[in-house]
A and B are shown apart, each in its own frame.
Chain A
């Protein structure tokens, strides 16, 4: 029997690229993209299959060392190692964006050693000004043109609106699912939630929408669990595309009820404004509004208010700050976000990782101590 709901999400999470490979076998072109600065809506509007490039924490990096230095983002290095060892051979194209130094620099190395028939970099300014918004908008225009070339057909405004609407629905449904974690205990665990989201990153939006509807129905129908009190946490930080860490936190008598990470809530907040000017909507959503620390947003700590508000809304008592080694943007913000959380009365715990989860046991001890302190 075909799997449904959470079971299907888990299967898709585990067989990460299975659906994309199937679609490719059906003759569709699959384009891998890293970071949201290259809006997947544009790829879909051209009939392409966007596939968010992920790492694999269980995959040991071996070959990448022949081409790129060790002191850089371990996540990006891991994705490149997967490419070099053939895991991404099903991709017809590669789209990266100037998110941070690591991604930007990896683009040159990746396209040199593992060239694809189609590759493109979306450039992204570091400051939010009218000039930089105009620049990003022009970048999106160039991106659209390149995508049209790859697809061999123009992107109609209609297709773009449809794609935007579909992505917006997935975001809305995701937020509905998140809201089911406000209750105590939450109706859905942090690990389950992340599985669904990661599953979605490998699917066309319409299929993700179906999956979300199934999951919502399933979770809504769940009987309320007995109300065991556990510490409620918000998970903040670098990209997290594996559920092990959230599972670990949840094994330590805590519940991850909310997050601020880019596959999670950070990428699901709000909707792309759609109207006469879809490109303007992308600028608003993916550039002006998207809270990635790679963008300079002034020096006022109130820029982290949204994290505090999310913690309050979801009844989180503490925050896990998850940081990957050599991630400059997050490592600068770390000091400030911590201070801001502290001022708001929210305790935090920093977990640094090199994208191998090698220190799970020491992490466990520290998480346990943190959870104990909170309760």
Chain B
């Protein structure tokens, strides 16, 4: 394995993310001994957590940080030694290895980045998005940390559902509403205080702004040269979108990012000086090697769009009953995704602000973003995100666009084979260039 490196960020705003997103990055300073703290999964709406003023940690995000700091492999191995298969999600294995170390040492392991995770008093999971999410906290709680667990259980309509049928709408909204009310009741019981409805309303209002800003940023990225690549989205967009949606800090941050991207478009400034290949990124990035995107930049490739953590179009909601507004937002977004072809993104209904784009939308992107190809990261330990890539590859072929699928993992760097992967990438880019020459000759 050659060097794994962190990304060099292109945008100033992204470089300033840690300072601008203080409420996330400085949370360790705010932890109070003995105060309630939840470990949460992406998919749990962060607006509801804010409405309880509940401190949270996100083991998934911790997995990406451990990956970036080079400790994930060891933690994953430890979990494997305790019986958790290497097939299982590396975020899960990372967290299990971490907890097992924690219990062994009786304190945060010294190798844990950012001082480790705060001491959990409850585990908040979600049945949305993938199976591991419904089993992960079961394992943590039954084998390591006997804490109360609560899972929301939103259900997604299959791709061929009649989402315009009011009965189908009522069906999906009902369980979503009920599961969110159950979550609120659980938090009220556990924390001994009621939810602050005003705060929820404000958070949802902020989330609306965030989603609109991200939508705008994603549209601005169509420009040639591309003003913002996937490396900046992954390093600077994922935390405020997944874990801070609803917070004011996130709105201000994305506004600043939008302004910077807009300014770049106006001035014709791109991520790389000589943009030769515009590529779609599909899949979870290799968090331990985001510098990979810069390596591709050196070869003239830029990523103006990615499918993961896709926000999509903003929808109108009525905030008078905020919990029902959250239900409505979630449903409308699911309908939007389904209309664009959700045959390989069956988990399209998640109360958090992101999902994946539908098949027909991706085909549309070929033209909108002037794509030359797609690079897809097949993550061995995450089926939820990588299943469907071959289908999209087949679909893109019909648009005349080639795709490269390479294999590795999101948080377990043991799967990264640098020479092989870089060789595949180079071959792929050469093939695109050759195809271009061919077409030029023919015309």
**A-to-B contact residues, CB < 8 Å:** 65-69, 71-72, 98, 100-102, 104-105, 107-109, 111-112, 119, 121, 123, 125-127, 129, 131-132, 134-135, 138-139, 142, 293-294, 296, 298-301, 323, 325-326, 328-329, 331-336, 338-339, 352
CB contact under 8 A between A129 and B153, given known A119-B160, A333-B135, A335-B139: yes
In the A-B complex, list the 7 residue pairs whose CB atoms are closest, starting with the nearest.
Answer: A108-B343, A131-B178, A332-B135, A126-B127, A299-B142, A121-B158, A335-B83
State the CA gap A142–B158 with chains docked (Å): 13
Closest to A105 in B: B387
Let me know if A121 and B138 touch, CB within 8 A. no
Tell me if A105 and B383 are in contact (CB < 8 A).
Answer: yes
Q: When the two chains form their complex, are residues A126 and B153 in contact, meaning their CB atoms are under 8 A apart? A: yes
Cα-based distance from A102 to B160 in the complex (angstroms):
17
Give the residues in chain A near B142, CB-CB below 8 Å. Answer: 299-301, 336
Task: Map CB proximity to A onto B230-255 as digits: 1 under 8 Å, 0 otherwise.
Answer: 00000000000000000000000000
Query: In the bound complex, how far is the Cα of B178 from the Cα of A338, in angstroms?
Result: 35
The answer to whether B84 and A335 touch across the interface, beta carbons within 8 angstroms, is yes
Instruction: Enumerate chain A residues within 8 angstroms of B131, measured Cβ to Cβ.
Output: 100-101, 294, 328-329
Across-interface contacts of A108 in B (CB, < 8 A): 158-159, 342-344, 346, 388
User: B323 to chain A: closest CB distance in Å?
Assistant: 14
Would you call B390 and A67 a contact (CB within 8 A)? yes
Q: How far is the CA of A352 from the CA of B86 in the complex (A)?
A: 12
CB distance from A73 to the nearest CB of B (A): 8
Q: How far is the CA of A119 from the CA of B171 in the complex (A)?
A: 20
Q: Does B182 reach chain A (CB closer than 8 Å)? A: yes
Query: Which residues of B have CB within 8 Å of A104?
Result: 158, 346
**Interface of chain A: mostly helix, strand, loop or mixed:** helix
**A296 to B155, Cβ gap below 8 A?**
no
* Pair B343/A111 contact, Cβ less than 8 Å: yes
Q: How far is the CA of A107 from the CA of B386 in the complex (A)?
A: 15
Q: Is the CB of B390 within 8 A of A66?
A: yes
CB-CB under 8 A for A331 and B84, given A107-B346, A127-B134, A135-B174: yes
A-B contacts, 30 of them at CB < 8 A, read A65-B390, A68-B387, A68-B391, A69-B390, A71-B383, A71-B386, A72-B387, A98-B155, A98-B158, A102-B387, A108-B342, A108-B344, A109-B391, A112-B343, A123-B156, A131-B175, A131-B182, A139-B171, A293-B135, A296-B134, A298-B138, A299-B142, A299-B149, A325-B87, A328-B131, A331-B85, A335-B84, A335-B139, A338-B83, A339-B143
Complex-state Cα separation, A119 to B161, whole angstroms: 11
Q: Which residues 151-194 in B have Cβ within 8 Å of A in the complex?
A: 151, 153, 155-160, 171, 174-175, 178-179, 182
Cα–Cα distance between A139 and B174 once the two chains are bound (Å): 12
Complexed CA–CA distance, A298 and B149 (Å): 8
Instruction: Give chain B's interface residues, CB within 8 Å of chain A.
Output: 82-85, 87-89, 127, 130-132, 134-136, 138-139, 141-143, 146, 149, 151, 153, 155-160, 171, 174-175, 178-179, 182, 342-344, 346, 378, 380, 383-384, 386-391, 394
Q: 9 new A-B pairs (CB below 8 Å) besides A67-B390, A138-B171, A332-B136? A: A105-B384, A105-B388, A107-B158, A108-B159, A111-B159, A123-B155, A299-B146, A323-B85, A326-B383
CA distance A334 to B82 in the complex (A): 11
Cβ contacts under 8 Å, A105 to chain B: 344, 346, 383-384, 387-388
Q: Is the CB of B383 within 8 A of A127?
A: no
Bound together, the chains give a CA A212 to CA B175 distance in angstroms of 41
Question: Quick one: closest A residue to B82, CB to CB?
Answer: A335
Chain B nearest CB from A341 CB (Å) reads 13
Query: In angstroms, how far is the closest chain B Cβ from the Cβ of A67?
Result: 6
Q: Which residues of B contact A72 (CB under 8 A)?
A: 383, 387
Residue in A65, A69, A109 whose Cβ sees the most chain B Cβ within 10 Å = A69
Is the beta-carbon distance between A69 and B346 smaller than 8 angstroms? no
Q: Are A328 and B159 within 8 A (Cβ)? A: no
Least distance between A317 CB and chain B CB atoms (Å): 22
Query: Which residues of chain A are within 8 angstroms of B132 by Cβ–Cβ distance?
Result: 328, 332
What is the minimal beta-carbon distance from B412 to any residue of chain A, in angstroms? 13
Question: Which residue, of A98, A123, A338, has the highest number of chain B Cβ atoms within 10 A?
Answer: A123
A131 to B390 alpha-carbon distance, docked (Å):
36
Q: How far does the alpha carbon of A57 sit from the alpha carbon of B130 in the complex, in Å? A: 27
Knowing A112-B343, A299-B146 touch, does A134 contact B160 (C-beta < 8 A)? Answer: no
Given contacts A296-B135, A335-B143, contact A71 B380 (CB under 8 A): yes
**Bound-complex Cα distance A107 to B388 (A):** 11
- Best-buried of A68, A127, A339 by chain B (most CB within 10 Å): A127
Given A109-B344, A131-B178, A329 contacting B378 (CB threshold 8 A): no
Chain A residues with Cβ below 8 Å from B89 are: 328
The answer on a CB contact under 8 Å between A69 and B151 is no
The answer for the CA separation of A287 and B154 in the assembled complex, in Å, is 16
- In angstroms, Cα B139 to Cα A338, docked, is 13
A134 touches B174 (CB 8 A): yes
A297's nearest neighbour on chain B, judged by CB, is B138
Contacts of A331 in B (CB 8 A): 84-85, 87-88
Point out the residues of chain A lying under 8 angstroms from B155, CB to CB.
Answer: 98, 123, 125, 135
A68 pairs with B127, CB closer than 8 A:
no
When distances are taken between beta carbons in the complex, the residues of chain B under 8 Å from A352 are 85
Contact A328 B139 (CB under 8 A): no
How many whole Å from B376's CB to the nearest CB in chain A?
10
* In the complex, chain B residues whose CB is within 8 Å of the CB of A139: 171
Q: Residue of A at shortest CB range from B342?
A: A108
B-side contacts of A126, CB under 8 Å: 127, 134, 151, 153
Closest B residue by C-beta to A138:
B171
Alpha-carbon gap, A335 to B160, bound state (A): 36
- Given the interface pairs A68-B391, A108-B159, A328-B383, the reply to whether A336 lies near B88 with Cβ below 8 Å is no
- Partner of A135 from the list B85, B138, B175, B386 (CB cut-off 8 Å) is B175
B200 to nearest A CB, angstroms? 20
Instruction: Tell me, in angstroms, the Cα distance from A109 to B155 when the chains sit together.
Output: 19
Chain A residues positioned under 8 Å from B386 (CB to CB): 69, 71
A188 to B247, CA, bound (A): 65
Given contacts A68-B391, A105-B383, A125-B155, contact A326 B87 (CB under 8 A): yes
Which of B88, B158, B380 makes the CB contact (< 8 A) with A328?
Answer: B88
Q: Which residues of B contact A101 (CB under 8 A)?
A: 130-131, 383-384, 387
Residues of A within 8 A of B88 (CB): 328, 331-332
Which residue, B158, B159, B179, B344, has most C-beta atoms of chain A within 10 A?
B158
Bound together, the chains give a CA A123 to CA B127 distance in angstroms of 13
- Minimum C-beta distance from B300 to chain A (A): 29
Task: Please tell me which one of the listed residues B127, B138, B157, B344 contacts residue A299 in the complex, with CB atoms under 8 A apart.
Answer: B138
- Asked whether, in the complex, the Cβ of A296 is within 8 Å of the Cβ of B346, the reply is no
* Cβ contact within 8 Å between A68 and B390: yes
Q: How far is the CA of A110 from the CA of B153 in the complex (A)?
A: 25
Instruction: Please name all residues of chain A whose beta carbon is closer than 8 Å to the beta carbon of B179 when the two chains form the complex.
Output: 129, 131-132
**Bound complex: CA of A326 vs CA of B158, how far in Å?**
22
- Tell me the bound Cα distance from A366 to B146 in angstroms: 34
Q: What is the distance, in angstroms, from A335's C-beta to the closest C-beta of chain B? A: 4
Query: CB distance B127 to A125 under 8 Å?
Result: yes
Complex-state Cα separation, A310 to B205, whole angstroms: 54
